[in-house]
Amino acid sequence: MKPNIPIYITAACQISIQEPLCDKWMSEPRLGLSGYNEAIDPVFKEWMSPGEARRLGKIMKRAVVTSAECMKASGITMPDAIITATGLGCVKNTELFLTDLCTQGESLLKPTQFMQSTHNTISSLIAILNKCHGYNVTYAQGDMSADVALLDAVTQLSLGDIKTALVGAHDEMTPNYYTLLNRSGYYGHESMVSSGEVAVSFMLSSNADREALCLIDDIAVFYKPATESLRAYLTTISNVDCILAGYNGKPENDMLYDNIISLRDNPDTPVLQYKNLFGESMTASALGLYAAVRIISTGNFHNSMYRSGSVPANINSVLIINASGNDISLMKLSKVSL
């Protein structure tokens, strides 16, 4: 889908296994991480009272902070829509509630854990705190959650139904869930990147803004696309300076990306990766988008992201590819012309 009007990303903030709320990962990233990893949290008391911090789980606090910082950076305090993506939702609260249910039966259960265990709690909390009564929706569609949420935001903006959208992607991990996902094969391959946690917020706007970080030129999500159909769509995405792909070290995953890239008219386009820095999770593609936004707006990237090809000195456009099983998403970003 090529938006029929310019759609800008005006702000982007992250909390992840790299240093939070900054771009230190571009020059001094944490490297060599493996296995289970938790995000590095900021000092939450700078954004909320101690009482609020005790009441909210980490995923909720991270969502509040990244949303607040994103709105502050964009200058938009009342977005027309709040769209949230999550693969697993509030895992820790779900785990605590189910554990109490198993050990205590149906008595003495903590209502807060139950109320904060649902996936749409995150989007609802952000709306309540900011008194935003507009469009509010949560997408929980596995590894495509963030991509579908962004597609919804771009669609709403293109139709003119909204002018601004706060789009977030949030996922946390616990040791128990990591063990379960390890057993299922989601993690665990010896050459695979580490696990990760995600809290990313973006502000999208249809208003022309010279201070915008980048433009969204194209976005598409496919389910079981025929090879020729995918090839045909890729040919419509031209003038790409580099590709940012979700390689994670798992052979079947990385082969899928190689096959997709080989379908392009110019398969020799330089390729970068990002999961070696941010880890794997169900909304890791949102961190890929965050990395692409920063690469375009700053013109820099860390050497560890390099995978193949000769990357140009000036990166004016990036094609982001996310693939998982039968699902594939494509997004092209470009620099805002002055």
- Please say whether the dihedral angle defined by the alpha carbons of residues 141, 173, 331 and 266, taken in this order, is positive or negative: negative
Which pLDDT score, from 0 to 100, does residue 210 have?
66
Q: Do domains 8-205 and 215-334 have the same CATH topology?
A: yes
Q: Domain segments of the chain: what residues? A: 8-205, 215-334
Cα 100 from Cα 107, distance rounded (Å): 9
Structure tokens at 113: 């854990």
User: What's the first-to-final CA gap in the chain, in angstroms?
Assistant: 24
Residues linked to residue 322 through DSSP beta bridges, in sequence order: 329
pTM of the model: 0.95
User: In 3D, which of 37, 20, 18 has the Cα closest to residue 29?
Assistant: 18
- For the CA atoms of the chain, what is the radius of gyration? 19
Distances, alpha carbon 285 to alpha carbons 99, 112, 185, in Å: 31, 30, 19
Q: Which CATH superfamily is domain 215-334 in?
A: Thiolase/Chalcone synthase (3.40.47.10)
* Residue entry with tokens 């950076």: 73
Structure tokens at 271: 């390729």
pLDDT along the chain (338 residues), means of 10: 95 98 96 95 95 91 98 96 96 81 74 75 95 96 97 97 97 94 93 97 88 96 97 96 97 97 94 98 98 95 96 95 96 90
Q: Is 337 exposed, middle or buried (0-12, 13-18, 19+ CB in 10 A)?
A: exposed
Residues linked to residue 83 through DSSP beta bridges, in sequence order: 137, 167
Cα 295 from Cα 337, distance rounded (Å): 16
Domain 8-205 in CATH 2.60.40.1260? The answer is: no
Which pLDDT score, from 0 to 100, does residue 158 have?
97
Residue 15 in contact with residue 65, Cβ under 8 Å? yes
Cα 170 from Cα 29, distance rounded (Å): 21
